[in-house]
Amino acid sequence: SDFETILLDRRGRVGVITLNRPKALNALNAQLMGEVVAAVEELEQDPEIGAILITGSERAFAAGADIKEMQPKTFADVYAEDLFTQWDRLSAARKPIVAAVAGYALGGGCELAMLCDFIIAADTAKFGQPEIKLGVIPGIGGSQRLTRAVGKAKAMDLCLTGRNMDAEEAERAGLVARIVPAADLLDEALKAATTIAEMSLPIAMMAKEAVNRSFETTLAEGVRFERRVFHSTFATADQKEGMAAFIEKRAPNFSHR
């Protein structure tokens, strides 16, 4: 793959996307947005890939949308191109996506992390929605996903003051699944992604779909959806294999079917 602003690596069944514009702290310009989306869609199509990991550098996961690229645009420009709509294609991905965040995850960087299914943070991570300081508001879902993740009080605090929160506060608030020492971030995140990728792929996809449904529907409808999908797991070879392996006291050998 001839990407210029990201690196794409296959580590076993995990596709690792590393944001790679170090001089701009991985600011999300149009090229990087297009490349991340293309890489995720390539990994989605690859039957050998069971999970995706998105990470940045030690200093920054991403310091936001590219301010230099955005600054001269007019309303007519951003409306006509529907600026940032391409990022919605990440939320359409069906394979699990883990974000490994060290350093700054600000603005669009925080929003990209929240587009992933869960966040593993280094103890150096800093999250925020500082758009208000630039005279704009979040535009890649921050006002919606942050509010669902941390509740109104903290979402309002972050979106209105533009302050950052550190990894500890982010974990306490429910934005982050786990915190690890910065030196271990990639290992730990890869371990988590590998664990997921070694599960049955269709079952992992169903689990992701079921959790995501809770954001879109009532509790009763969500539970009904879960029950039906749970029933459909019995149509897979991997349900037979997973349960047989338990009974026979051995590791399962999933065929991803």
Active site residues: 65, 108, 111, 131
Strand partners, 51: 14
Token pair 């925020």 is found at 128
Residues in the chain: 257
- Return the number of the residue (17 or 62) whose C-beta is nearest ligand HXC: 62
Q: Residue 82 Cβ, how far from ligand HXC at the closest point, in Å?
A: 13
User: What string marks each residue from 124 to 143 as x (binds ligand HXC by CB under 6 A) or -?
Assistant: ------xx--x-x-xxx---
How far apart, in whole angstroms, are the C-alpha atoms of residue 218 and residue 240? 31
Within positions 231 to 250, which residues make up the interface with ligand HXC, using CB under 6 A?
none
The contact pattern for ligand HXC, residues 62-91, with x = CB under 6 A and - = no contact, is -xxxxxx-----------------------
Q: Which is nearer to ligand HXC, 78 or 223 (CB)?
A: 78
Residues of this chain, 23-42, that bind ligand HXC according to CB under 6 A? 24-25, 27
- Name which of 22, 16, 23 is nearest 40 in CA terms: 16
Q: Which residue, among 177, 69, 31, has the nearest Cα to 113 in the 3D structure?
A: 177
DSSP tag of 10: E
End-to-end CA distance of the chain: 28
Q: Where does this chain bind ligand HXC (CB under 6 A)?
A: 24-25, 27, 63-68, 104, 106-108, 130-131, 134, 136, 138-140
